[in-house]
Amino acid sequence: MIEQDLRISEVIAEEHARLRNFIRKRVPNEADVEELLQEVFYELVEANRMLMPIDYVTGWLFSVARNRITDLFRKKRPENFTDAAVTDEEGEVLRIEDLLPAPDAGPEAHYLRNRLLDELESALDELPAEQREVFVAHEFEGRSFKELSAETGIGVNTLLARKRYAVLHLRRRLQNIHDEFTRK
The pLDDT assigned to 29 comes to 80
Q: What phi, psi does 93 have (nearest 5°)?
A: -70, 130
CA distance 112 to 28: 31
H-type helices in 100-144, by residue range? 107-126, 129-135
pLDDT computed for residue 126 by the predictor: 92
Q: According to the model, what pLDDT value does residue 90 have? A: 62
How far, in Å, CA of 149 to CA of 50, rounded? 40
Q: Considering the domain 81-183 in this protein, what is its CATH number?
A: 1.10.10.10
The SS3 call for residue 99 is helix
- Local mean pLDDT, 10-residue blocks, the chain (184 residues): 71 85 85 87 77 71 87 66 51 55 70 77 89 86 87 89 87 77 62
pLDDT at 70: 85
| Domain range 2-75, its CATH number among 1.10.1760, 3.40.50, 3.30.450, 1.10.1740 | 1.10.1740
Q: Please write the tens of the pLDDT for every residue from 129-151.
A: 999 999 888 887 888 888 899 99
pLDDT of residue 86: 45
Instruction: Give the predicted TM-score (pTM) of the model.
Output: 0.46
The reply to whether 81-183 shares the fold of 2-75 is: no
d(CA 70, CA 87): 33
State the pLDDT at residue 150.
Answer: 92
Calculate the CA 70 to chain-centre distance: 12
**pLDDT recorded at residue 46:** 81
Domain ranges of the chain: 2-75, 81-183
Quote the CA–CA distance of 55 and 32 in Å, as a whole number: 28
pLDDT tens digits along 58-78: 788 888 888 888 888 777 655
